[in-house]
A and B are shown apart, each in its own frame.
Chain A
């Protein structure tokens, strides 16, 4: 190792030692606050990005034997099933009827996902659920993890383009909903702001997985959900599921709606990798806020630290440290603070994510809303290092303007 490299390493090591030394007794308060500031910013980044990932991962409605999804272009494949007012497809029953005429298509159903507050009128228990509206299949099939074969395939309520047929009121409830509301097969339930009776046709054997975790859900005939939630007016749904064994059908699906995406099973991964505006905006906002807070905090606190310790820089000058080496010490101190804050922030963020998921699960029953893939820790840690680098110029400026004689004689 050459002396230049040794000097570089030693100067960086000196910066690290100074930070650790201050933490261990010389000035633990100031340094602790500085690191805590970065940690909070990084934890914020970690949690919000985790939530964004969870939202972005809630892509298409999973279903067996489904090969294509027709989704609104605005929402895209990354659209969130819980999305309240996103873009929707209209005239879906008419489109479904036309698609069914294509021999290449085995199964087709529009799907609408709407949040509902469901109540057991006998016990008064209430809970929010995701209602999945489908056209019941004529053979066993799962949509969104819900076995919808228990729903009457007659689909009587939607009678020749009108919503005035016989109301079935059938619902399939997820186990969590059944447990929360104390519902069993044959029990009656009621949705808030609706006087239509609902009857439990079956209790599903598993919860609905919505990308970001399990959610309490019910499945019911699409037309009945539409009439309860105002989607009937334009015959709206969120996406159309298509089951086929013939890939040539894709071009036909693309021409069904102008301005829609046709997502194939093989294309889902790529589609999911491109999140929609909301998760992307959340992740970007989290990065900007965390970065902004972190940079401002580290720059300010390190500036204060440096102002308080200018004499030490003067001493380094007096004992022969070059301007460049002193700058290196200052930069390494700043980055050390950011790195320590980054480590603490990742730990804090992981704890906060667990807490967030637990809180959301308790409040609305959605488990694991925020995702924490391993690379998220590296991302958050990297962001902390960037914060340190971006915050370094201000302490460097202060260091460069330190008058050695003035400080030594003060």
Chain B
């Protein structure tokens, strides 16, 4: 773990840069210093993702599927970018690559100047924890935990003290309008409320990048609107990428990148 005092001196591409928390509480909201020349939060260069289709006999079909084909993309801090395209066009794959959940077959993904390919799996997980917040279509909250505990999850791995985890979770739940629902379990929350809890969880570690995969996919129009409000509100100082089928959701973004058969249109 690095200390606040040394943040400015570390190499932003080093694994150590992935963890920006320190044992000093004031570091909780401190990010790595910006490089001297402004750079986009996300830079995705000629990313290609292929995988073997194992649907053939005995799982050995041998057909190679190209989910992403030389896709390039840059997203600045404060920008909301929509990813559009029909099912199977590669939207989710692109988000997984941007989040470091999948490693591209070819190409390069940089988040705040750090090339994800240079990080080991362990360091990629650590980097994701502190730099990328994720919002899923199906919310993916842990049903046994309360809303507050779900929001505080990313801070558990950081070793943040319990009281500070709780305070942070309450602050974020308050911000998404769920202050009165913080002790409720997901099962007793509506879909819209669950998605807002998921947004609060994505922001728990104050990431520079938020990635949302079909965030309104399971919600009605009105509820979806409120969720989009929250997602656009949080973009002031971070890059937000939203993949969606929903044209109404895409209209709320600053610009839309369209994918078809894994290629950028």
Contact = CB atoms under 8 A, between A and B. Distances in A.
A312 B159 contact: no
Interface in A1-22: 1-7, 10-11, 13-14, 17-22
A397 B161 CA distance: 30
A300 to B, nearest CB: 20
A323 interface: yes
Nearest to B202: A319
B1 interface: yes
A308 to B, nearest CB: 11
Interface stretch (A139-147, A185-193, A204-212, A402-410): A402-410
A320 interface: yes
A322 B123 CA distance: 9
Nearest to B204: A319
B125 A311 contact: no
Contact of B92 (A22, A319, A320, A409): A409
Contacts, number: 105
Contact of A3 (B23, B126, B136, B141): B23
A18 B145 contact: yes
B165 to A, nearest CB: 8
Nearest to B144: A21
Interface stretch (B71-79, B96-104, B238-246): B96-104
B176 interface: no
B201 interface: yes
A317 B159 contact: no
A6 B140 contact: no
A17 B153 contact: no
A314 B101 CA distance: 10
Contacts of B101: 317-318, 404-405, 408
B130 interface: yes
A10 B160 CA distance: 9
Contacts of A1: 161
Contact of A25 (B165, B187, B205): B187
A316 B92 contact: no
B71 to A, nearest CB: 18
Contacts of B160: 3, 6
A7 B144 contact: no
Contacts of A27: 143-144
Nearest to A318: B134
Contacts of B99: 318
Which of A3, A13, A318, A321 has the most C-beta atoms of chain B within 10 angstroms of its own C-beta? A318
A26 B125 contact: no
B142 A315 contact: yes
Given A18-B142, A21-B144, A319 B154 contact: yes
Contacts of A227: none
Contacts of B168: none
A335 B153 CA distance: 21
B92 A21 contact: no
B159 A14 contact: no
A20 B161 CA distance: 21
B161 A6 contact: yes
Nearest to A320: B129
Nearest to A1: B161
Contact of A6 (B129, B141, B154, B159): B159
Interface of A: 1-7, 10-11, 13-14, 17-22, 25-27, 311-312, 314-323, 325, 404-405, 408-409
27 contacts: A1-B161, A7-B157, A10-B156, A10-B159, A10-B165, A11-B156, A11-B157, A14-B153, A18-B145, A19-B144, A21-B143, A21-B145, A21-B146, A25-B185, A26-B185, A27-B143, A315-B140, A318-B101, A318-B134, A319-B129, A320-B129, A320-B157, A321-B125, A321-B156, A322-B125, A325-B156, A405-B101
